[in-house]
Structure 1
Amino acid sequence: MKTADLSGVLLDYWVAKAEGYEPWAGATIPKGEFMWKAPRAIGTDIGWVTHRFSQDWAHGGPIIERKRIALQWLAKTREWDARCDSASGSFTGYALATAPLVAAMRAYVTSEFGDEVPDPGDIRNE
């Protein structure tokens, strides 16, 4: 699947993978019935979470700040342009979307996994 086409549950799935979360074994894609086990580096509570990174600023916003993702409104195309910065100052991920949080999370996934990711289909997560 092209990272530029990811949205909803599939986009959240790949953001969670990039963040180091472990999927719940009973979860299914694309229904969105999944939970994530937070890695120790994220916080002290190692419980199950249901983060929707591309839909909730409380979950996606800290990633934008930490990864220095630049957002810009493109009036001509009526889309948000998102670019993920690297330590060297170059961009490692780029994406467009009609919603800024979706564009930012696509850019993040692109920076971590490239322009394409495997389609998890309707599988049970590992």
Structure 2
Amino acid sequence: MKVSELEGYLLNYWVARADGLRCEIRKRQPCETMHAYIFIDTAVHTGYPRIYSASTYWNEGGEIIERERIGLMPAVEGGVAFWIAAHPDYSDPVRGSTALIAAMRAYVASKFGNEVTEAAHG
């Protein structure tokens, strides 16, 4: 699968993998959509599952952008607005409909290249 096409839970899954986090794709409830879950240690639980959404929430993705020094720039082409992200360890700029999507794609590409394998769904 092309990194430039990753979005939603699949993008979040690969961001977590790029960050070295244990991650699974699964539903919270049988009738819900898929989510990327990471497993964290809390004062009460070890390996507590938590939905991870770095491509949607700035409190998760923003920390990666700052740490990885990912550059972001808004752009317009053919009347369509999008964002361009550049990672210092990856030569090609990456696009996304939002700044977080572009930045997280750039981060994944910097770790895995232009393509990733299909993620297993739990």
1:89-117 Cα shifts (integer Å, max 9, x gaps)? xx445310121100000000000100000
* C-alpha contact (below 8 Å) 1:85/1:93 kept by paired residues: no
Residues 1-126 of structure 1 mapped to structure 2, 5 A cutoff? 1-24=1-24, 27=26, 31-38=33-40, 47-76=48-77, 78-86=81-89, 91-92=90-91, 94-120=93-119, 123-124=121-122
User: What TM-score, normalized by structure 2, do the two folds share?
Assistant: 0.78
**Comparing both structures, which one devotes a greater share of its residues to strand?**
2
The separation in 2 between residues aligned to 1:16 and 1:72, in whole angstroms, is 24
Q: Which runs of 4+ in 1 moved over 6 A?
A: none
CA displacement, residues 49-68 of structure 1 (integer Å, 9 cap, x when unaligned): 22200000010000000000
Give unpaired runs (5+ residues) of structure 1: 40-44
Question: How many equivalent residue pairs?
Answer: 111
**Which stretches in structure 2 are left out of the alignment for 5+ residues?**
28-32
Aligned CA-pair RMSD: 2.3
Identity of aligned residues (%): 34
Amino acid of the residue matched to residue 39 of structure 2? Answer: K
Asked if the contact 1:93–1:108 (Cα under 8 Å) also holds between the matched residues in 2, the reply is no
